[in-house]
């Protein structure tokens, strides 16, 4: 395995870790939101959906500057 291939492998491992970390945090938040709504005997509200939408847009805008 040449240095370029090793570097590529490290990059892939780094990305895989990022995916696991990001997805884990994001879906934990979603699960918490569901649990909170369920505990309060209601559905996910329009305001909460708007907040999720804003979060998603922020992530897109941040990625544009990456």
Partner 1 sequence: MNPVAGGVNQMRLANIIGIVVLLLAMFGIDVSDEQRQVISAGLGALGLIINQVITEINSRKGTMLSDNQAVKADVTTITPQVVQVSGGGTDAAVTKLQGGFARVSALWLIAGCVFLLAATACTFTKPESVQDTIATGYTLVKTAAQLTGSAKLNGAISAAQRDQYLYAIQNAKDSLDAASQLVPVDLSSAEGKANAATTILNTIITELKKLQPTVQGALT
Binding site residues, partner 1, CB under 8 A: 11-12, 14-15, 18-19, 22-23, 26-27, 29-30, 33-34, 37, 43-44, 46, 48-50, 52-53, 55-57, 59-60, 62-64, 66
Structure tokens at 29: 């938040």
Residue from 48, 26, 19 nearest 36 by CA: 48
CA of 5: how far to CAs of 14, 15, 17, in Å?
Answer: 14, 15, 18
Q: How far apart are CA 60 and CA 57, in angstroms?
A: 5
Which C-beta is closer to partner 1: that of 1 or that of 47? Answer: 47
Q: Closest approach of Cβ 62 to partner 1, in Å?
A: 6
Which C-beta is closer to partner 1: that of 6 or that of 18? Answer: 18
């Amino acid at each position: 395995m040449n240095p370029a291939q090793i570097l590529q492998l490290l990059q892939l491992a780094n990305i895989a870790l990022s995916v696991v970390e990001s997805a884990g945090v994001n879906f934990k938040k979603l699960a918490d939101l569901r649990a909170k709504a369920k505990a309060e005997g209601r559905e996910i509200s329009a305001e909460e959906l708007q907040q999720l939408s804003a979060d998603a847009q922020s992530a897109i805008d941040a990625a544009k500057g990456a």
